[in-house]
């Protein structure tokens, strides 16, 4: 419990750098754990075409050009960040951690399963399951997830409601926002958006080259 308390303190620290580094460390653990379990226990291609990102992308066929593919990848990632992370941060859990933290970690766990089972919608590499390896750092995926973490922690202070009590008797009274310096939110979201755009360009290039 002491460890959890310290972790919560760092996840809700007033400094963006502390929040971001802490959530990123947790995200790495969650990703590697789910990746390892998926590789060991689940069949190849289990989630292909079944994730929210795959549904938003509209199928498993590459776009007709680099630009169209870039826009499609960026739009999917931007929509996931805006709805699943930033909007979810409007509600805080009982410990004061915004809901977006949990939804971001859930998406990262799903990404680990997708990686371990090689359930990517468009194949640009081997068709077998992918064992945990640092070689993944040579792909855009981990950096897209890092952008999710940055957007999540940058919008920590936008919460408007906080859960009180235990389900099914919990309520969510309105709270005053603790925005802090607005420039931190703007700069954090701008950096996350720029990173998502750069990774979308990288991924689009890999896909277009692979399908030609």
The per-residue pLDDT for range 5-38, each reduced to its tens digit, is: 899 999 999 899 999 999 999 999 999 999 999 9
pLDDT at position 189 is 95
pLDDT at 101: 96
Q: Say what the pTM is.
A: 0.88
pLDDT surpasses 60 at 57: no
pLDDT tens, 153-200?
999 989 999 888 777 777 888 887 776 678 889 999 999 999 999 999
What are the sequence ranges of the domains in the chain? 2-211
CA dihedral 200, 28, 130, 54 (to 10 degrees): -40
Cα dihedral sign, 5-11-16-17: positive
Instruction: Return the higher-pLDDT residue of 176 and 81.
Output: 81
**Residue pair 77/193 in contact by the 8 Å Cβ criterion:** no
């Amino acid at each position: 419990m002491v460890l959890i308390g310290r972790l919560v303190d760092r996840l809700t620290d007033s400094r963006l750098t502390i929040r971001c580094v802490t959530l990123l460390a947790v995200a790495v653990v969650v990703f590697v754990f789910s990746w390892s379990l998926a590789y060991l226990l689940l069949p190849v291609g289990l989630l292909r075409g079944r994730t929210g990102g795959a549904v938003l992308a509209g199928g498993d066929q590459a776009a007709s050009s680099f630009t169209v593919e870039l826009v499609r990848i960026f739009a999917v990632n931007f929509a996931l960040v805006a709805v699943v992370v930033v909007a979810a941060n409007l509600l805080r859990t009982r410990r004061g951690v915004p809901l977006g933290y949990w939804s971001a970690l859930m998406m990262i766990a799903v990404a680990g399963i997708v990686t371990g089972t090689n359930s990517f919608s468009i194949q640009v590499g081997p068709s077998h399951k992918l064992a945990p390896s640092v070689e993944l750092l040579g792909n855009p995926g981990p950096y897209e997830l890092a952008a999710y973490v940055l957007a999540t922690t940058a919008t920590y202070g936008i919460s408007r409601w906080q859960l009180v009590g235990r389900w099914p008797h919990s309520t969510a009274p309105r709270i005053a926002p603790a925005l802090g310096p607005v420039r931190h939110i703007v700069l954090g979201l701008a950096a996350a958006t720029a990173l998502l755009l750069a990774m979308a360009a990288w991924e689009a290039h890999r896909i277009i080259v692979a399908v030609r």
